[in-house]
Every structure is written in C-alpha cells, then in structure tokens.
C-alpha cells in the first residue's frame, strides 16, 4: 500500500476534529442544527488553516444519508464519497486554473439541474479571487439568487481582491492563523497515534516553522521524520530547518550587553557554522527581545515554565536597559526585511548585529549609577562611541522625492526617553536670574516640571516683573482664559518648590507679549529649522542630479527637520 502523507491522512473528517477554528465551527453548527443556512459562504485565511476542509465537512453535513446534521456519520456512501473526493454533487473548482467567463457560464448552466445523489449541489470554488472581472460579473446573478438546491462555498487567501458585490452576497468567515501551541498539540497527538518517538523541543521548532499553518506544519513533520530516520530529534530538526538553539541567540544578546564587538563576532561565526536561515535567526532574536521587554516592563510576568533558559532571560533583562531592548527589536525586524538586498545573508545578518552595537542610545546625561538604580546595567567602558552623526548637522530628513528613490536613508534613531511623571518638583533652591534679577522663565518651567495644561499656560506667558514675592506674567488676550483656578494655584505650588521659596503669580493682559514667550521662541526655532532643512535639500547635489536627469521634484510637505 502506498504511503499517505500526514496532512492528508489526518485531515479532519468532522467539525469536532478541527483545530483552532471554533468560531467558524460554532456558527456553521448552529446553522445546520436549526436549518437556517445561507446560500453562499466565503472562507478566508492564509494557507493551510482549514478553508477547504471546512467546506468539505459542510458538504457532508448537508448531504449525509442519515439527515442534515452538524455531525455527519462518516460511514454512508455520501460521506465516504466526499472523503474520497468523488462525490458527484460536490463540484470543486480551482479558480486559479479556471479564471475565464466560459468556465463560470458552465457552472451557471449546470446549477439549474437537480443534484444527482444528494439533497444539495455544492460548488466549492477555491482561490475565488483569481476569477477575472467578466467571470465575476457572470457569477453575480446566480450567486445572489441561486436555485434552492445549490450552495456556494468560496475560499480565498486574498479577500481584498474580491469585488464588494460578491462580498455582500456571502456570509464571510475569517479563519485564524493557528498558534504554535495548537500546532504542537496536534503534532503530539499524531505522533502518539503513529508510534513515532519524538523530543518536545523538536515539536516546538516545527510548530514555530509552520508559521500558523497546520498543513505546512504536518508537511514539515513528514520531512523531519524522514530526515531523522523514523524519529524526531531536535538537532535533526534544527539542521533541517536551518534554525539555531535559543542559547545561541542569548549569546548574541550577552555580547551586546557587554559591549564587546569581539564576542559578538565570535557568536555570529558560531551561528554561521550551523549554516542557518539567518532570517529565522533574526526572527528568533526578535522573539527573545519581546519576552525580555515583557519581563522588564510587565510586573509579574515570567517566561514559560518549561523553558530551560528562564534564568538567562531574567539575568539579561537586568543587564539591558529597556530602551536598548526596544532599539534591538527594531533593528532585528528591519534587518530581517533587508536581508534580501544584502550582498549575502550572512553579511546582512552581521551588519544588523553590528548596527545594534553601534547605535546604542545615549545615557541621556544620567550617570551609570543612576541607570543601575533604575534596573539597567551601566555601559561597559569598552562600548564603541555612537556613530553616524548627521553630516554637518544638517538635521533633516527627505520623506519622498516623487517617482525616484529617497536620496539617502534616514539614520536609525534611538527611542525617545520616557516622559517625566507629572508630579510636584522637589525643591531645587534659588534659580539663575537675569540682569534684572528675574528668574530665567524657560529654565524655571523645566525645573517646575510644568506639563499638560499647566505647561501650555506657562509656555504662552512672558515673565515681566517681580514685586516682592509676586511674579508678574504677561499673557496675550487669546490666552487669558488659561489663567484660572485651580491651574494658577497648582502653578504657584510647583514654581515655589522649584525656586525654594514661596511665591505668588499675577497674570496681566498684554497684546505684545507673544514674541517673548517660550512658545513663540520655540515656534520661531521650528520655522527656522524647517527653512534650513528645505534649503539644504534643494542645494543637495544628489537631489539636484535627480531633478536634472529624471525630472524629479521634491514634495514640499515631505521635508521635516531632523529631530533630536
């Protein structure tokens, strides 16, 4: 007897055997049990999640010789014929191969005739989005008002390509990608029934490699069993898939935490010796970084209990700063995308790792001791300096040049530091004053930690005078409505704490105050930066060359000054 692949041998025959599509099964089961069945169903989802399988089970449920039911017997002539793919009243049409209007007309003409054996004639159209526009138009009328003995079951991996006129005539069910745990559970069930020895770690590798598709997972399982000579071992699976153990990925992160380029390149070379799929290695790295960030930022989170690397993950979470983890994750995902345009996969992988080492966030002025007290390790003295400063401080980006590639890539920016909490500022003592003895208003706003509505009021005010313990602030008429209780009392409290003495605030209306406020100065600075960025772009030799040779033009609103 010829060998039957696992994906076909273990294809579900009943709704109860389906994995991970409970929301679809429940709706169809209720429709069958109550007799409230629509004439057209659309099943969408990625490959290998059960679209065609559900359609075939539904066809059996409609035509089972023991009656319409959500639980077909699986033993009658109709059920066995459907399972074998030879039931005459189940017409499976591959729209990828039969895209023309003539193929659809044949379906329409045959739909009017009564079923030969069953109660319903069921049309299963796979990859329906591949039909041509004339074919869709020919199908619409029959799809809207089919004969009572006809059911349409449409399946597609790309529902966005379907005309809305088709979508509106169908009940739509979106099938979900399966979780690795669901795929691994089904694999264990199958391997136990087939009496095939396996290692749990090997199952986990295959489930991740399946990428949400149970059919792909079972195909990989077939391949792994053949590769391993009838058994399933994790080393064989990793060699087959080109994947690496998590310990190798943790070694990369340990080298980054130490700031050691030598150790990082040694880890890269060790991983390369396994001839891995470098894209998969970056995916694994991103997955580990996600778990590290959960450990750092979500109280009470702990890694999976069955993981042998729990201690290493927790230790790394204490060594790496949260902003570093965010940056590494961003570089890993973008590096995964850029592998296709790298000179070769290993070069692209190593450059992604070196980018993590080079583009590490600055300490933001804080000391190493301060960072350690916040739960992050201090920078190693051997860490390389931050690279790739903007040339000549041009501080600009080119967002787009119409019909041409962007003239230069934007530098990888470090994540912005978390905003300071809005809470009363501690007493800082006397602040610097100007020649008139008035505090520097911009500095005082920062020291008083004025944010939100309080910050809006302060930024639009100009400090005019001091009368004893009272600061006199000028506001334009348009901003006088901000100077109300309880905002004034809150601002007095914050400023008093920042200055180390009790002060009062008095706001006066002044029409010429706008030019001297922090908000006005910031707006002028932004305008100057924007003007400088636009001028720098226009004078850029590469941009001028693109304009001259290709007729390109700079989209005015796409130029933004470089932000710190």
Q: How many helices (H) and strands (E) does the chain have?
A: 23, 10
- Going 449 to 454 to 456 to 458, the CA torsion angle's sign is negative
What pLDDT is stored for residue 306 in this prediction? 46
The 10 Å Cβ neighbour count of residue 110 is 12
Report yes or no: 460 and 468 within 8 Å, Cβ to Cβ. no
Tokens describing residue 184: 């691994």
Token duo for residue 368? 């190493």
Lookup: tokens for 131: 């039909």
pTM for this entry: 0.54
Q: What is the pLDDT of residue 243?
A: 64
* pLDDT of amino acid 113: 87
CA dihedral 90, 94, 97, 101 (to 10 degrees): 70
CATH dotted code for 246-362+373-379: 1.20.272.10
Taking the chain (564 residues) in runs of 10, the rounded mean pLDDT of each run is 82 89 91 89 90 90 89 90 89 78 80 88 89 85 86 91 89 90 92 91 86 89 89 84 71 90 92 86 91 88 60 85 92 92 94 90 40 38 39 35 40 42 45 76 88 85 89 86 81 89 88 76 86 87 85 81 70
Q: How far apart are CA 150 and CA 513, in angstroms?
A: 78
| CA angle, 154 then 155 then 156, to 5° | 130
Spatial distance between the Cα atoms of 404 and 429, rounded to a whole number of angstroms? 56
3-state secondary structure 426-438: CCCCCCCECCCCC
Give the largest Cα separation in the chain, rounded. 103
Counting Cβ atoms within 10 Å, is residue 23 exposed (0-12), middle (13-18) or buried (19+)?
exposed
Cβ-contact 111, 99 below 8 angstroms: no
Residue 369 confidence (pLDDT):
34
Looking at residue 431, its pLDDT comes to: 67
Q: Looking at 118-199, list the stretches that DSSP marks H as alpha helix, in order from N- to C-terminal side.
A: 133-144, 164-167, 180-194
Query: Quick one: tokens of 392?
Result: 């000549």
Which CATH number describes the domain made up of 6-174?
3.40.50.300
At which residue do the structure tokens 């002028």 appear?
Answer: 524
Contacts of 115 (CB under 8 A, 6+ apart): 63, 89, 121, 149
Is there a contact between 278 and 268 (Cβ–Cβ < 8 Å)? no
Fold topology of 441-511: GMP Synthetase; Chain A, domain 3 (3.30.300)
pLDDT value at residue 421: 41
Domain map (residue ranges) of the chain: 6-174, 180-241, 246-362+373-379, 441-511
Say what the pLDDT of residue 388 is.
44
Which CATH number is associated with domain 180-241? 1.10.8.60
């Amino acid at each position: 007897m010829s060998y039957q692949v696992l994906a076909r041998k273990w294809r579900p025959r009943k709704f109860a055997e389906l994995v991970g599509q409970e929301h679809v099964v429940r709706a169809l089961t209720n429709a069958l049990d109550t007799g409230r069945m629509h004439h057209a169903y659309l099943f969408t989802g990625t490959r290998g999640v059960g679209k065609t399988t559900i359609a075939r089970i539904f066809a059996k449920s409609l035509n089972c010789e023991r009656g319409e039911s959500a639980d077909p017997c699986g033993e009658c002539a109709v059920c066995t014929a459907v399972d074998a793919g030879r039931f005459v009243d189940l017409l499976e049409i591959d729209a990828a191969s039969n895209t023309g209007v003539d193929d659809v007309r044949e379906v329409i003409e045959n739909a009017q005739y009564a079923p030969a054996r069953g109660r319903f004639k069921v049309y299963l159209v796979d990859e329906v989005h591949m039909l041509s526009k004339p074919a869709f138009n020919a199908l619409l009328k029959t799809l809207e008002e089919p004969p009572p003995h006809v059911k349409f079951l449409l399946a597609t991996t790309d529902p966005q390509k379907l005309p809305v006129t088709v979508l509106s005539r169908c009940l739509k069910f979106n099938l979900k990608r399966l979780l690795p745990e669901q795929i691994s559970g089904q694999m264990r069930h199958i391997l136990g029934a087939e009496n095939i020895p396996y290692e749990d770690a090997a199952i986990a590798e295959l489930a991740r490699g399946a990428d949400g598709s149970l059919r792909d997972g079972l195909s990989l399982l077939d391949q792994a069993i053949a590769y391993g000579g009838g058994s399933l071992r994790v080393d064989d699976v990793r060699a087959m898939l080109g994947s690496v153990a998590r310990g190798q990925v943790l070694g990369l992160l340990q080298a980054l935490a130490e700031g050691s380029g030598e150790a990082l390149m040694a880890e890269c070379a060790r991983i390369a010796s396994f001839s891995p799929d470098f894209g998969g290695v970056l995916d694994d790295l991103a997955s580990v970084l996600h778990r590290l960030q959960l450990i750092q930022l979500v109280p009470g989170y702990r890694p999976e209990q069955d993981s042998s690397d729990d201690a290493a993950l927790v230790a790394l979470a204490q060594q790496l700063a949260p902003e570093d983890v965010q940056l590494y994750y961003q570089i890993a995902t973008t590096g995964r995308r850029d592998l296709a345009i790298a000179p070769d996969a290993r070069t692209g992988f190593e450059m992604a790792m070196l980018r993590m080492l080079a583009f590490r966030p600055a300490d933001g002025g804080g000391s190493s001791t301060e960072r350690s007290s916040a739960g992050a390790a201090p920078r190693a003295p051997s860490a390389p300096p931050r690279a790739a400063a903007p040339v000549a401080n041009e501080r600009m980006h080119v967002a787009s040049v119409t019909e041409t590639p962007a003239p230069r890539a934007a530098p990888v920016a470090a994540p912005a530091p978390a905003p300071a909490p809005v809470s009363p500022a501690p007493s800082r003592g006397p602040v610097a004053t100007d020649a008139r003895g008035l505090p520097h208003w911009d500095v005082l706003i920062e020291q008083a930690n004025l944010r939100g509505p309080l910050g809006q009021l302060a930024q639009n005010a100009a400090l005019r005078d001091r009368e004893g313990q009272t600061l006199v602030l000028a506001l334009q008429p348009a901003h006088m409505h901000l100077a109300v209780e309880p905002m004034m009392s809150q601002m007095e409290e914050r400023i008093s704490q920042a200055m180390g003495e009790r002060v009062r605030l008095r706001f006066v209306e002044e029409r010429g105050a706008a030019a001297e406020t922090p908000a006005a100065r910031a707006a002028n600075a932004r305008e100057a930066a924007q003007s400088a960025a636009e001028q720098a772009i226009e004078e850029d030799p590469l941009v001028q060359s693109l304009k001259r040779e290709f007729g390109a033009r700079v989209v005015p609103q796409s130029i933004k000054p470089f932000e710190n």
